[in-house]
Amino acid sequence: MALHLCRPTYYSPNNKVSVNNLKIPIVFILVFCLQGCVLSPVERTHKLATKLGFERQILKSADFRHLAYFSNIKSEKKTLHVYLEGDGLPWVSPQKISADPTSRSPVMLPLMAMDNQPAVYIGRPCYLGFSEDPGCNASLWTFSRYSRKVVNGMTEVIQQVLSRYGFTSVRLFGHSGGGTLAVLIARSLPETRAVVTLAGNLDVDAWAEYHHYTPLLGSLNPVKGVALNPAIYQLHLQASNDEVVPPRLAQKWVARQTNTDVCLYPEFDHGCCWGDIWPKVLAQISRGLGQGFCSYD
């Protein structure tokens, strides 16, 4: 996290006032400066979304509020692209749960800015400033982060957007845990035509075992459910240097699917460098889906 230190307003190279002559302890000056310069994860996300020209809306499912950012939403195209962020920061340490799980470095917002299709970035329940909402508790971003309740809430607001703007089909894009949610949502969202995951966690139990984490007992595990409808095209983008979700953890999921491509990028890791390929991914999808996706230049 970069800290941008502010110069106190009373200072000028041409004046004779020095910090040493002031009655205010230097520690208070530094605290004041940092408070004015360091944005919260929610504020940083909103600042980035505003810079990218996205429209902010609050959507409501039966149990939760969801912050959403829209792009090209008034287009006459009938397919909506839905962007789902990763898990963010559920824990600040192995013993301490985060008070705000919002991602510190969003991956999907910058990718959506490259997309000319109507698109929406939808926040999870209790993320992006809503962690203290009624109905929210820490389990919803820790052990139950992929629970039926979370999946239902996300599915409901996507259906609202489809209905409100007249979209007839949807493609789901998810990074890391957002990929987990993408395949879970696709099972109950009949308008789904494609699912694209980036470093997606497709076997939650294997992931927890790999990291020696406590199992996410309140969550759904994609690999334990039925395979996706063969009419839904799946593209799973993986990074050779990914130590968060190693590519091999997806093998059991992929083995049970049809109409599926898997692309492995030797120079990438969990967070880098998806923007380098995203325009090509979008262009290929817009030309039509089919086997051999990873063969493009």
What residues contact 63, with CB distance under 8 A and at least 6 apart?
Answer: 125, 135, 149, 153
Show the tokens assigned to 24: 């205010």
Q: Share the mean pLDDT of the chain.
A: 88
Q: pTM to 2 decimals?
A: 0.87
Let me know: does 57 contact 68? Beta carbons within 8 Å: yes
Q: Distance (Å, rounded) from C-alpha 180 to C-alpha 174?
A: 7
Q: How long is the chain?
A: 297
Q: Looking at 23-32, 75-84, 180-189, which range is the least confident one?
A: 23-32
Q: Where are the domains of the chain?
A: 40-289
CB atoms within 10 A of CB 215: 13
One DSSP character per residue, 56-87 reads EEEEE-SS-EEEEEEESTT-S-SEEEEEE---
pLDDT tens digits for range 92-115: 999 999 999 999 999 999 999 999
Residue (of 39, 43, 67, 41) closest to 55 by Cα position: 67
pLDDT tens digits for range 263-294: 999 999 999 999 999 999 999 888 765 556 67
Architecture category of domain 40-289 in CATH = 3-Layer(aba) Sandwich (3.40)
